[in-house]
Amino acid sequence: MNDPANAGHSSSSLLDGLGKWIPARFRSDVPVVPVVRLSGVIGAVTPLRPGMTLASVAKLLDRAFATRNAKAVALAINSPGGSPVQSRLIYLRIRALAAEKKLPVIAFVEDVAASGGYMIACAADEIYCDPSSIVGSIGVVGGSFGFQELIKKIGVERRLYTAGEHKAQLDPFLPEDPGDVARVKALQQEIHALFISLVKDSRGARLKGEESKLFSGEYWAGGTSVALGLSDAIGDLRAVLREKFGDKVRTPVIAPSTGLLSGLMRKSSGAGAEASLDGLAALPDQLISALETRAIWAKYGF
């Protein structure tokens, strides 16, 4: 007679043996931590300035948090900041998905997580960085140029018509108005206060430095950011995830779709003489955007 216990053991052994031949991505016993890369200046997008916005990363985040057998979601961050609105929208989307899917989020800072880039990193439950990473810059900055003397020298007369007392504030072709500057500074203080509140909510008791230092807009190398509580530890993505989830952990990078349809749509969007003319007309603005992007990265030594 067949022993039921032995039969069960044989079936289990058979399944275990077959499991070795099943690709890791289809096995429930292999932990998965999808990786979303969040790179670049945050905000407006032009062909020469591929910025990061909620619209550009939302589908990637959705796919990451919907990954089968996911044990966590990893964020690989490399951003010098940009739009405070887009930074916060991305932060909120990550936190909402983490709560919905009940998954921890782990951020890994590459070169830079500064300003809005650090705001996004704060969406993670833990932040790891390299000793040479640049972290922080919790502040708000804005600037312009004054061309009023230049147009006088070249014989250009400024003609401006507005409805609304402050509609032309900070016009670069008019002398600077102290009242305009005061209003802009008040706006910056309001946005800065929101940023500070977000960091405090995220990092909590882990923050160790004086507020006057932490929130001054200063930035630090990775080791100092850990000492100040802005980051949790020094570590790279592969090593940390293997330590947390085992050597067999899979870390698929959630990349934008590159299917045939999306490729055709990208090609059709730029096809034709009209599109070419539009591109030429927009070239000056795109060059300025590219220079602005270069300047933002250069601020942190890149």
| CATH code (residue 77) | 3.90.226.10
Residue numbers of the domain that contains 291: 29-139+203-261+283-298
* Pairing mode of beta strands 105-114, 73-79: parallel
Rounded to 5, what percent of the chain is helix, strand, coil?
A: 50, 15, 40
Tell whether 7 is covered by a domain.
no
Q: What single letter denotes the amino acid at residue 210?
A: E
Is the model's pTM score more than 0.85?
no
Nearest of 220, 212, 191 to residue 112 by alpha carbon: 220
Give burial (CB, 10 Å; 0-12/13-18/19+) of 119: buried
Tell whether 127 is covered by a domain.
yes
- How many domains in the chain? 1
Sign of CA dihedral 189, 228, 84, 101: negative
Residue 262: the pLDDT is 45
Residue 90: the pLDDT is 98
Tell whether 274 is covered by a domain.
no
| Beta carbons within 10 angstroms of residue 81's beta carbon | 26
Tell whether 198 is covered by a domain.
no
37's CB contacts (< 8 A; 6+ apart) are 76, 78, 253, 255
Residue 45: the pLDDT is 59
Tell whether 64 is covered by a domain.
yes
DSSP type of residue 43: S
Nearest of 96, 69, 63, 65 to residue 245 by alpha carbon: 69
Residue 34: the pLDDT is 98
Tell whether 60 is covered by a domain.
yes
Tokens of 101: 């899917």
User: For 163, how many CA atoms within 13 A lie in the half-sphere containing its CB?
Assistant: 0
Residue 15: the pLDDT is 44
The alpha-helical segments, DSSP class H, found in 46-83 are: 54-65
Catalytic residues: 115, 167
Tell whether 196 is covered by a domain.
no
Residue 256: the pLDDT is 81
DSSP type of residue 132: T
pLDDT in tens, the chain (302 residues): 555 545 455 555 554 554 555 555 555 679 999 999 999 999 975 665 668 999 999 999 999 999 999 999 999 999 999 999 999 999 999 999 999 999 999 999 999 999 999 999 999 999 999 999 999 999 988 777 787 778 788 888 777 777 887 777 777 777 888 887 888 889 889 999 999 999 999 999 999 989 999 999 999 999 999 999 999 999 999 999 999 999 999 999 998 865 544 444 444 434 444 444 455 455 555 555 566 666 665 666 55
Tell whether 48 is covered by a domain.
yes
